[in-house]
Amino acid sequence: MTRMSEDNFKVQRNLWENPWGYVESFFIGFGLMITGFFLEVFVASDTPFTVAYPYNIIFLIGYVALLVVLYKWFSNTQVIRWLTKVPASISSISLVTLLVMIMGIIPQVASESNFVNNLGLNKITSNWAFLLILFQFLTCLGLISIKRIAQFKWSNVGFILNHVGLFLALTAGMLGTGDLQRLSINTYEGKPSWIAIDAQKNQVELPFAFYLKDFIIDEYHPKLALVDNKTGTIAQNNGKNLYLIEKGETYYFQNFEVTVDEYFETSGRIGNRYHFVNELGAPPSAKITVKNTTNDSIQNAWISSGSFSHPYESLKISDAYSMVMTIPEIKKFSSDIDILTKDGERISTVLEVNKPFKFRGYKIYQLSYDDKMGKWSDLSVLELVRDPWLPVIYIGIFMMIAGAIYMFWMGNKITKNQ
Amino acid sequence: MTWIDFPLYSSITGILWTAGLLFLLISYKKQQLFKFANVLLVLGWIALIVFVVKLWIELDRPPMRTLGETRLWYATFLPLIGFITYIRWKYKWFLAYSIAMAGMFLAINYLNPETYSKTLMPALQSPWFIPHVLVYLFSYAVLAASSIVAIKGWYDSYKGNFNIETLKLADNLVYIGFAFLTLGLLFGALWAKEAWGHYWTWDPKEVWAFLTWMGYLIYIHYRHFHSNKTKQALTILALAFVVLLVCWFGVNYLPVANTSVHTYTN
Ligand code: HEM
C-alpha cells in the first residue's frame, strides 16, 4: 500500500470528531434528503425549476470559481476536507443511487397515492431531495477534479478524463435544459410552413419556412400469418418471426402448404380478383394457394391487409385457422424538403429517422406523420432542436469515452503496484 | 438470397472454433497447444468475415437492417473484443468465453433462418445500434465473471483460506467491465441524441443501466480506499450484480415497464 487510509488504524473516535467518516457523511446526506422532501411538501410548485441564459452561464462560472476558491483557501476547514474525501463521495453516490432507484420502481407519472404525489416521488428528476443530493455529488466531484488538476501528474490523466468529463456532461446537461428549445412543426405536401409549436404549445414563428416536396414511406412486404379463428391471435411462433410475402415462395404452416402465386404492393378488388392499381389507400394483396397436406385438398383465394379506406380479406383454411396478411411494417420514412430563408435562399435536403439535418443552430429531425393514412400521409411532422450547450456536453462525453478506454487498458492500479 | 451460403460458412466457422476451443482447453495443461488453438480460432473468424464481406457486397448496403444481420455483427465483433482483451490481459478463459458467445449467435441464426429478413424498425437502423448492444453484452459478461470470482472469494473466506489475489482479479474484471458499461451508456446517449434529439430520457431501462453503473462506481471507490475491508467489498460487488440482473432481465416485470422504449415486442 502506498496510501494510508484512516481505516488502517483502529482509532476510537466520537461522532463529529475529526475527520468525518461514513456515519457523519450519511448523516449529512440524509439531512439533505429530508430537507429536500420538506421543501417538496411545503414549498415546491408544479413547474420544474430551470435557469436560462445568461443566468445558467453565470451560475456555472460562479460555481466553478467558488469551488476553486474553496479548494485554494479553505481546504483545511472541516467541511472542505470532508468533501474531498471518499466517504462524502460514496455517501452522495449511494444516495443518488437510492433516489434513482425510486425512479426505477415508481412510474414517473401522476399517481393515485397522495404520499407519492406530495413527496414528489413520481417526479424525481425535479425533486428537491434529488437536486440537493446531486448538488453535493457534483460539489465532491468538482472539488476532487480541481484538486487533481492542481496537482497535475501524467498518471492522473485517466482520473481527470473520467471525473472532469462526468462533471462537464452532468452540469452542462442540467443547466442546458433551460436553453434547450424544442419545437415541432406540421408540414404538408406542396405547402410552405413556418409556424412551429413549442413545448408549452405556444406558436413560434420561424425565421425560415419548410416546403415539403414529398413525404415517402418505404414499407416492407406484408407478412403471412396463421390466425386462430376463435381467439383472433396469431397461432405460430408466438406471433414472432412471421414470413414476409414474396411472390413465388412457398411457406409451411403445420399441415398447410401455402404458395404465393401473385403479389401486388398496391391494388384494388375488381370483380373476383385484385388488380394492380395505384391510388390513395390502395392496399397490398396476394393470391395464395393453400394445400392441406393431410387430405390433399386445395384452396385458392385473394387476401389483402386492407387500408384506412379498404377492408381486409383473409382466407379461412379450416375450422380452426385462417390465413391473414398483416399490415406492412415501415422500413423507413423520410421527407424531401426545401428550406426557404427570408433572403431567398433555397436549401434542399432529405430528412430521415436517425439522420437529422443541421441548419442555423437547429437540428431538424423527422418526427412522425399521420399514421392513420400511413404511406398516403401528406403530413410530415418535423422537430427542431436548438441546444447551445451541446458542445460542452460532447466534450464531457468524449472525455469519458477516452477515460473508459484508458481504464480498460490500464486496469486497476493497486492490483499492479502490489 | 445471399444468406444461402450461411450454413456453409457458419459450419466452417463453427467447426474451426469448436476445435480451437478444445485445444484452448487442453492448453491449460500443455501450453504449447495454445498457439495452435489461436490459429484455429483466427481461421474460423476469417471465414466469418469473408461471409460478412460477401453479404455486404451482394446486398449492396451494410447488412444492418434485420435481426439476423445484427446477430451476424455480434458474432463478428465479439471475437475481436476477445482477442484485444486477451492481448492486453492474457485471460485465456475470456477469449474462450467471447468465442463461445459469438458461436452462440451464429447458432441462433442458423436455427432461425426466418430472422434473416426479420425487420428492424426505423429508429433501430442506426450505426450506433451494434456498438451500443455489443459493448453492453461484453460488459455484462465481464461483470458477471467478476461476480463469479466474488462468490469464490466468499466461499474461500468462509472456509478460512481467503486469498487477496481473488479479489484483485475481481477488481480488474470490474475495471474492464465498468469501462465497457460506460461506453454502452455513452453510445446510447449519443445515439438517442441523433435519433430523437434527447441524450437521456430516464427511460426505465436507462434508469436501471445507470443504477448498475452507480453500483460498480461505489465498488470501485470503496475498494480503492479501503483495500483491506474485503468482506464489505465483496458485499458491494454482490449487490451491484443484483442490480445488473434487474437491469438485464427484471425491468420488464417492474411497475414502470410499460413506459419503456427499450421493449420492442410488437
Ligand atoms: C466516470 C466515473 C468515475 C470513475 C471511472 C471514477 C474512477 C476513480 C478512480 C479509478 C479513482 C482512483 C484513481 C486514482 O487514485 O488515481 C477515483 C478516485 C476518486 N473518485 Fe472517482 N470515479 C468516477 C466518478 C466519481 C464521482 C461521481 C465521484 C464523487 C461524487 C468520485 C469521487 C472520487 C474521489 C473523492 C476519489 C479520491 C480522489 C483523491 O483522493 O484524490 N468519482 N475515481
Report yes or no: A227 and A292 within 8 Å, Cβ to Cβ: no
B135 contact residues in A (CB cutoff 8 A): none
Provide the angle, in degrees to the nearest 10, between the axes of the packed helices B164-196 and B67-89.
140
Q: For residue A415, what pLDDT is reported?
A: 46
| Residue carrying the nine cell digits 413520481 | A122
pLDDT band at A125 (very low <50, low <70, confident <90, very high): confident
What is the Å distance from ligand 1's center to A136 Cα? 15
Residues 6+ apart with CB under 8 A from B247: B205, B208, B209, B211, B212
Q: Is the dihedral of CA A329, A332, A336, A337 positive or negative?
A: positive
Instruction: Kindly report, residue by residue over A134-168, the tens digit of the pLDDT.
Output: 999 999 999 999 999 999 888 899 999 999 999 99
A105 contact residues in B (CB cutoff 8 A): 254-256
Q: For residue A7, what pLDDT is reported?
A: 47
> Complex ipTM, two decimals?
0.87
Nearest by CB to B186, from A109, A400, A415: name it: A400
pLDDT band at A106 (very low <50, low <70, confident <90, very high): confident
Give the whole-angstrom CA distance, residue A101 versus residue B213.
12
Report yes or no: A22 and A87 within 8 Å, Cβ to Cβ: yes
User: Does B49 lie at the interface with A, CB-CB under 8 angstroms?
Assistant: no
Report yes or no: B184 and A408 within 8 Å, Cβ to Cβ: no
Report yes or no: A154 and A162 within 8 Å, Cβ to Cβ: no
**Residue A329 predicted with pLDDT over 50:** yes
Task: Name which residue leads in pLDDT, A348 or A120.
Answer: A348
Q: Is A91 exposed, middle or buried (0-12, 13-18, 19+ CB in 10 A)?
A: buried
Nearest atom (ligand 1) to Cα of A84? 35
* Cell digits of residue A404: 473508459
Give the whole-angstrom CA distance, residue B92 versus residue B265.
37
Give the whole-angstrom CA distance, residue A300 versus residue A262.
11
Q: For residue B265, what pLDDT is reported?
A: 38
What is the pTM assigned to this prediction?
A: 0.83
Q: For residue B5, what pLDDT is reported?
A: 83
Task: Name which residue leads in pLDDT, B184 or A281.
Answer: B184
Q: Is B167 exposed, middle or buried (0-12, 13-18, 19+ CB in 10 A)?
A: buried
- Supply φ then ψ for residue A211, to 5 degrees: -120, 115
Report yes or no: B247 and B233 within 8 Å, Cβ to Cβ: no
Of the residues A167, A412, A416, the best mutation for testing chain B's interface (the one with the most B CB atoms within 10 Å of its CB) is A412
Mean pLDDT of A83-100: 93
Give the whole-angstrom CA distance, residue A273 versus residue A275.
7
B204 contact residues in A (CB cutoff 8 A): 104
From A79, A92, A85, A78, select the one nearest A6 (Cα to Cα): A85
Query: Helix or strand or coil: residue B252?
Result: helix
Q: For residue A1, what pLDDT is reported?
A: 36
Enumerate residues 121 to 160 of chain B having a beta carbon within 8 A of any beta carbon in chain A: 121-123, 125-126
**Residue A33 predicted with pLDDT over 50:** yes
Give the whole-angstrom CA distance, residue B192 versus residue B203.
11
Residue B54's identity, in one-letter code, is K
Cross-chain residue pair A90–B197, CB shorter than 8 Å:
no
Give the whole-angstrom CA distance, residue A357 versus residue A352.
9
Please report, to the nearest 10 degrees, the dihedral formed by the alpha carbons of residues A34, A37, A38, A41 taken in order.
-160
Q: For residue A253, what pLDDT is reported?
A: 84
Q: For residue A417, what pLDDT is reported?
A: 43
Give the whole-angstrom CA distance, residue B35 versus residue B92.
12
Q: For residue B266, what pLDDT is reported?
A: 33
Cross-chain residue pair B168–A418, CB shorter than 8 Å:
yes
From B140, B254, B195, B88, select the one nearest A104 (Cα to Cα): B254
DSSP for B171-204? HHHHHHHHHHHHHHHHHHHHHHHHHHS-S----H
Q: For residue B162, what pLDDT is reported?
A: 80
Provide the angle, in degrees to the nearest 10, between the axes of the packed helices B204-225 and A86-105.
160
Q: What H or E segment, with its residue span, contains residue A63?
A: helix A55-74
Instruction: Kindly report, residue by residue over A211-228, the tens digit of the pLDDT.
Output: 999 999 988 889 888 888
DSSP state of A113: -
What mean pLDDT, rounded, does chain A reach?
Answer: 87
Residues of chain B with confidence (pLDDT) below 70: 1-2, 114-115, 117-120, 252, 257-266
Report yes or no: A212 and A349 within 8 Å, Cβ to Cβ: no
Task: Name which residue leads in pLDDT, A380 or B60.
Answer: A380
Report yes or no: A176 and A393 within 8 Å, Cβ to Cβ: yes
* Ligand 1 contacts CB of residue A183 (under 6 A): no
Q: For residue B195, what pLDDT is reported?
A: 82
Please calculate the CA angle B137-B154-B221 and round it to the nearest 5 degrees: 60
Give the whole-angstrom CA distance, residue B26 versus residue B11.
23
* Cell digits of residue A332: 423507413
Report yes or no: A99 and A130 within 8 Å, Cβ to Cβ: yes
Residue A83's identity, in one-letter code, is L
The whole-angstrom distance between A354's CA and the closest CA on chain B is 4
